[in-house]
Amino acid sequence: MILTKLKNHFIIYQTQGIMKIKNFLLISGLLFTVLVSDSCKKSTPYVDPVDACFAFPAKSYKVGELVNFTNCSQYAFSYHWSFGDGITSQDKHVQHSFSQPGIYSVVMTAYGESDQDQDVQQVVVEASTDLDILVMYFLTDDPVSNCDVTLYATEADWQNFANPLIDAKTDLAGSVIFSGLNPVVYYMDAYKFGADNLFYSNENIGNSTVKPLVEDEVNYYNVYVELLQSASAAKRQKAVIKKIERTTANDKFRQKYRKGEPVQAVYNLN
């Protein structure tokens, strides 16, 4: 009887011990799972969300005026710009000019590691009175690059090289654009230094736009120059510059030399 009781007690005790061990293992397993899960969460680094941002100096510009867009985005590594006129860019900071007046919604999308963000702002583009000049060699019609083009308000100023309004150099396509001008007649010189020689666009009947510029439009002119051996004001009157002629945006020489590339405008200092 006593042995039977002891045996039964031992079996009960042993059974309870096994149950305790099983419970301990179950709890330990659960704790391990929680710890592993928590450890995995902590091992994933936090990534800051992208904050898209850009700025530009003014809200209103003239047609052809260059706008500088500065990217101030945070936590981004690539960008896509859409200027609202069909032109796009992937640069971080961009410059852009608009060829037509209007209100343009500029959209900049910034991309980060795991997300993206957009900044949308409006740019107002107003009509401008511009003078688009293409300088070419007389007879050959080749473009004259790095050529100084100067505008004067009166023929007397032009005659005496006095009070120039604005000066700029032509690009590789022989082109320069003056923007933000007044709807008046302008007198111009086009000259280029080279081994003591100068090219001039000055003839008694070929030194001006002849008629006032058309307001709020682009006025296109071709200027033909030839080689001179002197740069003095007295001899300038003898220069045989064949013509300064008004033309159009579809002028065959503009199509040929510019090849669709934009020309950066230079602005009147008035």
Residues 6+ apart with CB under 8 A from 245: 221, 222
Question: For residues 153 and 19, what is the distance between their CA atoms, to the nearest angstrom?
Answer: 106
Decide whether 54-126 matches 130-267 in CATH topology.
yes
Question: For residues 257 and 251, what is the distance between their CA atoms, to the nearest angstrom?
Answer: 10
Q: What's the confidence (pLDDT) of residue 43?
A: 64
Ordered per-residue pLDDT tens for the chain, 270 residues: 444 444 444 444 444 544 444 444 444 554 445 444 555 555 678 889 999 999 999 888 988 788 999 999 999 999 999 999 999 999 999 999 887 889 999 999 999 998 999 999 999 999 989 999 999 988 789 998 988 899 999 988 888 889 999 999 999 999 999 988 999 999 888 887 765 555 555 454 457 787 899 999 889 999 988 766 555 555 554 444 567 889 998 999 999 999 878 787 787 655
Q: Which one-letter amino acid corresponds to residue 21?
A: I
**Strand bridging mode 244-247 / 218-228:** antiparallel
Q: What's the confidence (pLDDT) of residue 241?
A: 55
Rg (CA), the chain: 38
At the fourth CATH level, the homologous superfamily of domain 130-267 is Carboxypeptidase-like, regulatory domain (2.60.40.1120)
C-alpha angle 250/256/258, rounded to 5°?
85
Question: For residues 109 and 68, what is the distance between their CA atoms, to the nearest angstrom?
Answer: 17
The domain locations on the chain are 54-126, 130-267
Residue with tokens 């900071």: 93
DSSP string, 64-124: T--EEEEE--BS-SEEEEE-SSS-EE--SSEEE--SS-EEEEEEEEEE-SS-EEEEEEEEE
C-alpha angle 159/160/163, rounded to 5°?
110
Q: Which of 144, 125, 137, 216 is nearest to 179 (CA)?
A: 216
Q: What integer best gives the mean pLDDT of the chain?
A: 79
Q: What's the confidence (pLDDT) of residue 30?
A: 47
Q: What's the confidence (pLDDT) of residue 214?
A: 94
- One CATH from 2.60.40.10, 3.10.129.10, 1.20.1630.10, 3.40.50.1970 for 54-126: 2.60.40.10
CB of 66 closer than 8 Å to CB of 91: no
